[in-house]
């Protein structure tokens, strides 16, 4: 494998009480998961948007303080929720709180109802991807330059100061989620350290071919991008088979969804039982 096999877990901050979430973070950290991932939304997903949900980045700061070894991130931050200047500051804070364990998940945002509810702009798909591209450039500038100037279509910086810089150099690894072949994968080729595929298993070989073409156009080797996708573990044997097939195509990072019918800490424990079998696949 071009990259080491790493297994993460998705930890929902929706519905679950804070005490249960804290316990789930500790369990996941101690169980040996390589990374832990809450998500980023303003309202609960699913049929009932009135269910309680906590802010992703605030939760991630708490995860940083309640864990010691696993890397942490949001799968993925919705770019439209925050100006990238603010987001750069929030992310650096979490990188310092965690001692340099942040993985910077980022996506264009997709859940239109929460934007309508809060009166937030929700541009066209093409403009959301253009904004994601610009946001990646802004983040990198703020994380690496003493003063940053940027004149984009959607974002502007004027001799901007952003201190301190991240613990990780040159900056935390950037994960970009999405599978749009024309625009999203072009942004992945330009900016991502990790591509978080949201396509179906059947689509992945074709999407990888498209990503390789985008990489060639920007002068980048596809093998420098780590490949990842999410998967459910309700059926352990099916999950193992899917991981094995994905490894064949070069995927090396996998994010497990715990069983939704169990309390969150118990769901994490159950998912952790699969770790030894997954490790053997490397």
Let me know if residue 47 belongs to a domain: yes
Task: Give phi and psi for 50, each to the nearest 5.
Answer: -85, -5
Q: Which domain holds residue 124?
A: 6-280
Let me know if residue 81 belongs to a domain: yes
SS (H, E, C) 86-120: HHHHHHHHHHHHCCCCECEEEECCCCHHHHHHCCC
Let me know if residue 1 belongs to a domain: no
Let me know if residue 51 belongs to a domain: yes
Whole-angstrom Cα distance, residue 226 to residue 239? 20
- Report helix, strand or coil for 228: strand
What pLDDT, on a 0 to 100 scale, did the predictor assign at position 3? 93
What pLDDT, on a 0 to 100 scale, did the predictor assign at position 282? 82
Let me know if residue 61 belongs to a domain: yes
Let me know if residue 56 belongs to a domain: yes
Q: What order of strands is seen across the sheet that includes strand 6-10?
A: 71-72, 35-37, 6-10, 253-257, 226-232, 194-197, 174-177, 104-107, 77-78
Let me know if residue 13 belongs to a domain: yes
- CA 66 vs CA 3, 72, 90: distances in Å: 28, 11, 18
CATH of the domain at 136: 3.20.20.30
What pLDDT, on a 0 to 100 scale, did the predictor assign at position 260? 85
Let me know if residue 11 belongs to a domain: yes
CA 259 to chain CA centroid, Å, is 20
Structural domain tally of the chain? Answer: 1
Note down pLDDT in tens along the chain; length 282 residues: 589 999 999 999 998 999 999 999 999 999 999 999 999 999 999 889 999 999 999 999 999 999 999 999 999 999 999 999 999 999 999 999 999 999 999 999 999 999 999 999 999 999 999 999 999 999 999 999 999 999 999 999 999 999 999 999 999 999 999 999 999 999 999 999 999 999 889 999 999 999 999 999 999 999 999 999 999 998 999 999 999 999 999 999 999 999 888 999 999 999 999 999 999 998
């Amino acid at each position: 494998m071009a990259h080491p096999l790493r297994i993460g877990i998705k930890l929902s901050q929706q519905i679950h009480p804070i005490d249960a979430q804290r316990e789930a973070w500790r369990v996941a950290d101690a169980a040996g998961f390589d990374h832990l991932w809450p998500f980023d939304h303003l309202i609960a997903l699913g049929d009932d948007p009135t269910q309680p949900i906590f802010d992703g980045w605030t939760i991630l700061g708490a995860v940083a303080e309640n864990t010691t070894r696993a890397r942490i991130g949001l799968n993925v931050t919705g770019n439209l929720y925050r100006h990238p200047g603010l987001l750069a500051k929030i992310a650096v804070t979490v990188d310092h709180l965690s001692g340099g364990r942040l993985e910077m998940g980022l996506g264009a945002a997709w859940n239109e109802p929460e934007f309508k509810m809060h009166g937030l702009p929700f541009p066209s798909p093409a403009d959301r991807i253009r904004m994601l591209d610009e946001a990646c450039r802004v983040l990198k500038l703020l994380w690496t330059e003493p003063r940053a100037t940027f004149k984009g279509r959607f974002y502007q910086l004027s001799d901007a100061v952003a201190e301190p810089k991240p613990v990780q150099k040159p900056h935390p690894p950037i994960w970009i989620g999405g599978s749009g072949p024309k625009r999203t994968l072009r942004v992945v080729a330009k900016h991502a350290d990790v591509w978080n595929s949201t396509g179906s298993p059947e689509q992945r070989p074709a999407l990888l071919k498209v990503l390789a073409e985008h990489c060639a156009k920007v002068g980048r080797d596809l093998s420098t991008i780590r490949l990842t996708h999410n998967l459910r573990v309700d059926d352990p044997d099916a999950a193992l088979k899917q991981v094995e097939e994905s490894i064949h195509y070069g995927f090396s990072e996998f994010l497990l969804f715990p069983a939704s019918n169990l309390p969150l800490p118990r769901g994490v424990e159950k998912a952790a039982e699969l770790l030894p079998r997954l490790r053997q696949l490397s």
